[in-house]
Structure 1
């Protein structure tokens, strides 16, 4: 059973595989900040300090809200991210959260197939 360690709140949770980070925080009082739960506001942005390899793939909403710059630095959105089969440690920072919340979502490039 994977563990999520919420560094800021000093909470450690045993969770089922494929558990959503934000849902587990809400259910067990991990204290990850949140507001919308849908990848729109950016309030639940966190940094994977350890175990990033045990997080699922980045979702479209994360790519839009965070952009490549924040994703490359190890940031994810708790509402969109699931822990797979290993332990993770996450933290969050109010200043980063405020920057992400103010960021306008990227418009993703759509690939257009040439019809010939």
Structure 2
């Protein structure tokens, strides 16, 4: 079974094939920041430290929220990403407040 290593929070979790990064983080307290969980806000942006080839294909929502430049730098949305093998991810604490404000605007716009 694949292992997800949450580098920022220091946790490693063994998961079933095709486990979702964000749901695993929520279930096992991996601490990936998030607001919506559905690809609308972008707050669950993580950097793939290792194991990029062990992930599901990039979803349209990721392209829309992150842009090709961030995707090329190894960033993904945890809510849209599923694992097929071992992976290590990290995220930046400094972005959380800024991302929360952006997320709230995007969620409010999507609801209207």
Give TM-score scaled by structure 1 length.
0.82
Instruction: State the Cα deviation string for residues 21-62 of structure 1 (Å, max 9, x = none).
Output: 000000011010011001111110000000010011000100
Superposed counterparts of 1:1-116, under 5 Å: 1-84=1-84, 86-96=85-95, 98=98, 102=102
Structure ID, larger Rg: 1
Residue-pair matches, total: 104
Give TM-score scaled by structure 2 length.
0.84
Moved over 4 A (4+): none
- Secondary structure of the residue aligned to 1:18 is coil
- Secondary structure of the residue aligned to 1:42 is coil
Name whichever structure is richer in helix by fraction: 2
- Displacement of 1:96 in angstroms is 4.8
- Secondary structure of the residue aligned to 2:39 is coil
Q: Which runs of 5+ in 2 are unaligned?
A: 107-112
